Structure 1
Amino acid sequence: MERVVHLAGLLRRPLVGGDGEVVGRLSDLIVRLRGRDYPLVTGLVARVGGREVFLPAEQVADLEGQRITLVSPRVDLRHFERREGEVLLRADVLGHRVIDVADVELVRAYDIELEQRPDGWMVTCLDTRRPPRLRGVMGGRGGQPDWRDWKSFEPLIGHTRSARVRGPFARLGRLKPADLADLLEEANRTESHEILQTVHADPELEADVFEELEPDSQLRLLRERTDAEIAQVIARMRADDAADAINELPQARRQPVLDALPAGQRTKVLTLMGFNPSSAGGLMALDVLTATGSARVAEALRAAGEARTLQPEALTSVYLVGEEKQLLGVITLVELLQADPKAPLEDVVDRDPVRAGPDTDVEDVALLMTDYNLLTVPVVDDEDRILGVITVDDVLDAVIPEDWRRREPAPRPPHHADEPTPGPPPHDTPPHS
């Protein structure tokens, strides 16, 4: 028969010896992290005579019932001092926020479930549903406890005391950049610092995450870095997003960051900074897949396959250009796949592509995309030379009203792709350690 207790109900319970004498009261439980295994209870913190003392787990005969029974009433009265890597369930987890990996949100742990297994008592579940008695005070949902596997969460986020023994949050690196950006925008300073430390291990992912951040959050996180560190992130961002990021920096920091960028990225960023940020020129991507009229369909497809440095959202079409880069036509990749591989491009392209000038308002670009069912629109100068391409994701980002962004997000569908493989559920046959 499974033996389960809940931390909220254990706290302040009396600790009694075999003779029934009250020794003290439970103040906290100490656990040892074990990687992918459930944390194991290694001791208790008891309040005895006005001080907190340590009791090893082996001294506990029973955690169930209205009293916690000890093997012996003898207690070492030296003041409890936390050791490196120890986690205190009440002080460090209960009431603190954890990351729900499947739903990609920060939630609070309102109770902790422990189960007795052959190795001892271990943490198996968290309850993140606010108790009914707190609804009126704190707002939000409440109701019956919602016990979920400990392994569904990244607990101890922002908890520096245990960072060394926990290691990096490997599962966070598998989340989408937009999801990580959402977490950062919701996190406090300590939490966001630790999330960023994990993301920083993958520079490309770090740049993608900063691209997804709202401008105020992006600026808040960038301002805490040196100019060289900002440049390292911006160097890997898309040029249009990099230009926006630099424009948001305080005036005194813009030029030092620009000077620290690689020459190629600096040139692109300076080009885009010359346009109104809300115009087609300010939003366009400068890298475009072009071909000349003498090229054939097969060559264009091969070029698309090899264009690994181009922004994927911009790689929906191939643009036919003349000797002076004048825009002569466009063909989508789908149309290329369906065309005769030996056919010349000039025979299969649309000779009158929809286009926009660099000063075109983003709202007008959005209307063009809607009217012609486009994912991208080329941007051309007065001589019809192609300057870049504006993508639908950038247009949506610019035209979605600000109050829409603050709406409560729609419920996420069931999602298990990023979940760990936790083994048997907490109340099934215990795993071997």
Structure 2
Amino acid sequence: MDPSEVPDIPEVASGIKGKEAHKLIRATKKIGQVLFNSDGSAIGEVVDIVVRWDGQDPHPLVTGLVADVADLGKVFVSSARLTTFTKNNNVVQQREDGFQPWERRRGELLLNEDFIGRQVVDTDDVRVLRARDLFLARLAGQYRLVAVTGKKKFRLPEAGEEQENEGDLVDWADIHPFGDPGSELRLKFPHEGLKRLRPGDLADILEHLDKEARDELTSTMDPEFVADAIEEMEPEEVEELLIDTDPSKAASLISKMEPDEAVDALRDLGRAEADEIIAKLPLAVARQIKALLDYPEAMAGGFMTTTLVVAQLAETVEEVIEKLKGFREHSVDIDGVVVVDEDGVFIDDLGLFDILVASQEDLVFDLVHEVEPVMVGADYMVKEVVDKLKASRRSSVIVVDEGLHPIGRVLADDVIDALGVGSGFRFRMPWNR
């Protein structure tokens, strides 16, 4: 829908369609319009439109206007006193008690001052817009904010530069706005539509938000969900996000990421920025992160995941399945169950299918393969890891230390990441610690 063609009925969403024909009113077009008294005399001009919003109402109620009236300055004109409020006309019923000076009350927002030019998220189409205009419609006898139109940011693959294009009308019920600290626009809870997004979708949104809006959004959403989204972001975007984020908050997000993803994110930062974040991590997490950072990125220890499900020979399949249930949030990194002996030495890597088809009463001992398991050392280079993966015909390989104790797993996608895209692999030595 072209915003320049104002429709008779707000064809924005079923929730704002009326049985009667209504004209959408552009909020920006009202600014500067003359305010008339009921006798036809001009008494001032419209400065802004006031709505009341608690963050829950899908279409905020218009409570009145802010008008600049001669000899009075800025006053509040209640909707109840507006006898005419159309696209081009504003008539107020004058009373003996006059007008009250304009003073913002709790829950009140000014459409043009507070909204126009700010970023918003369209949770239905999963995109970031910059509000260019707002639209009002009369619903059930009252005017309400029903839609927004704005400019959408996108990237030109060739130039790598952000451009903008005009957007269509978007139902306000699908909008998550952003505001200054203390503003009614700054929601305490994220829009329900944001909670239904996949991590990749949230990553796209975070990549297009300004620093202030991004900080606000990440503060209201579940930290683990945000961490999952960060893992989906491009490296340069992750670097920018972490640099712009308070170190304590950045550490909170890093601690909820998969260890290998957290290490990748920290590698792209400068030494000082990374150390500041690591210093605020929980001690156990910091120790793990530092150990991985000590490996060059092109060695197995530098791109392995340390999330392992470990089982002893005497355990039953039922017990192993219960262990697996505790790793639901790490399912993408769980490619099998690592079997160790009493000394913790690596014996075998059981595929999940082996576990699935076995009887729950079976012992892990009975499932161990007779062939020698494939493994790599933490100092194996990428090509050596690739060769081992090809030889094993598996989608992952276990990484062991000098004592043959399992310390991590390299997944096929980790190898792809280590190789880089289209230009061989990137080789970054560890920091001198």
**TM-score using structure 1 length:** 0.74
After superposition, the C-alpha distances for 1:136-166 in whole angstroms (9 at most, x for unaligned) are: xx96545xx73332111112x1343534784
Residue among 409, 419, 424 paired with 1:389: 409
Q: Give the drift of 1:43.
A: 1.1
Q: Structure 1 residues 120 and 397 mapped into 2: Cα distance closer, same or farther (>3 Å)?
A: farther
Deviations 1:91-139 (A, max 9, x none): 2223432111133321133332222134521112223478xxxxxxx96
1:73–1:395 CA distance, 2 compared to 1 (3 A): farther
Query: What amino acid is the match of 2:190?
Result: F
Alignment of 1:151 with 2:202, yes or no, is no
Aligned equivalent of 1:408 = none
**1:62 partnered with 2:81:** no
How far the C-alpha of 1:47 sits from its partner, in A, is 4.0
Pair 1:94 & 2:113 matched: no
Counterpart in 2 of 1:264? Answer: 284
Counterpart check, 1:357 vs 2:377: yes
Shift of 1:225: 5.7
Q: Does 1:234 align with 2:254?
A: yes
- Structure 2 vs 1, CA of residues 367 and 179 (structure 1 numbering), >3 Å: closer, same or farther? farther
Amino acid at match of 2:92: L
Q: Who is 1:376 aligned against?
A: 396
Q: Do structure 1's residue 313 and structure 2's residue 332 form an aligned pair?
A: yes
Deviations, residues 23-50 of structure 1 (Å, cap 9, x unaligned): 3333321100042342011111234459
What pairs with 1:290-329 in structure 2 (closer than 5 Å)? Answer: 290-307=310-327, 311-329=330-348
Deviates more, 1:224-233 or 1:187-196: 224-233
C-alpha distance in 2, partners of 1:265/1:12?
A: 58
Q: Are residue 19 (structure 1) and residue 39 (structure 2) matched?
A: yes
The runs of 5 or more residues in structure 1 that have no matched partner are 131-137, 404-433
Question: Aligned match of 2:60 in 39, 47, 69?
Answer: 39
Please, which moves more after superposition, 216-225 or 383-392? Answer: 216-225
Q: Which moved more, 1:45-54 or 1:296-305?
A: 45-54
Take 1:381 and 1:24, find their aligned partners in 2: how far apart are those partners? Answer: 80
Deviation at 1:62, TM superposition (A): 1.8
How far is the alpha carbon of 1:226 from its aligned partner? 5.9
Task: Answer yes or no: is the 8 Å Cα contact 1:55–1:75 preserved in 2.
Answer: no
Secondary structure of 1:301 counterpart: helix
Paired AA for residue 44 in structure 1:
L
Secondary structure in structure 1 of the residue aligned to 2:377:
coil
SS at match of 2:24: strand
**1:305 aligned partner, one-letter code:** K
Counterpart-to-counterpart distance in 2, 1:15 and 1:160:
33
Q: Give yes or no for the alignment of 1:335 onto 2:354.
A: yes
Q: Which residue of 1 aligns with 2:293?
A: 273
**Is it true that 1:160 corresponds to 2:181 in the alignment?**
yes
Where does the alignment leave 5 or more consecutive residues of structure 2 unmatched? 1-19, 153-161, 424-433
Partner of 1:182: 204
Choose between structure 1 and 2 for higher RCO, CA contacts under 8 A separated by at least 6 residues. 1
Q: Distance in 1 between matches of 2:400 and 2:375?
A: 7
Deviation at 1:198, TM superposition (A): 0.8
Partner of 1:111: 133
Residue 186 (structure 1) shift:
1.5
CA contact (8 A) 2:50 2:64 kept: yes
State the alpha-carbon separation in 1 of the partners of residues 294 and 87 from structure 2: 72
Q: CA deviation at 1:215?
A: 4.2
SS at match of 2:145: strand
**Mapped contact 2:175–2:191 kept (Cα < 8 A):** no
Please say if residues 179 and 185 of structure 2, whose CA atoms lie closer than 8 Å, have aligned partners that are also in contact. Answer: no
Structure 2 Cα separation of the partners of residues 268 and 127 of structure 1: 47
Q: Which amino acid aligns with 1:238?
A: E
How much has 1:72 moved relative to structure 2?
3.0
Cα 1:373–1:59, aligned 2, differ >3 Å: closer, same or farther?
farther
Structure 2 counterpart SS, 1:162: coil
The alignment status of 1:72 with 2:91, answered yes or no, reads: no
CA contact (8 A) 1:313 1:391 kept: no
- Structure 2 distance, partners of 1:76, 1:247, is 65
Q: Is the 8 A contact 1:38 1:122 kept in 2?
A: yes
SS, match of residue 303 in structure 1: helix
The 3 A distance-change label for structure 1 pair 287 and 71 is same
Q: Does 1:3 align with 2:25?
A: no
Partner of 1:420: none
TM-score (norm 2): 0.74
Question: How much does 1:371 deviate?
Answer: 8.4
For residue 277 of structure 1, report the CA deviation from its aligned partner.
Answer: 2.3
Question: In the comparison of the two structures, how many residue pairs are matched?
Answer: 390
8 A Cα contact 1:27 1:47, kept in partner: yes
Tell me how far apart the structure 1 counterparts of residues 302 and 342 of structure 2 sit (CA, whole Å): 25
SS in 1 for 2:67: strand
CA contact (8 A) 1:33 1:165 kept: no
1:408-419 superposed matches below 5 A: none
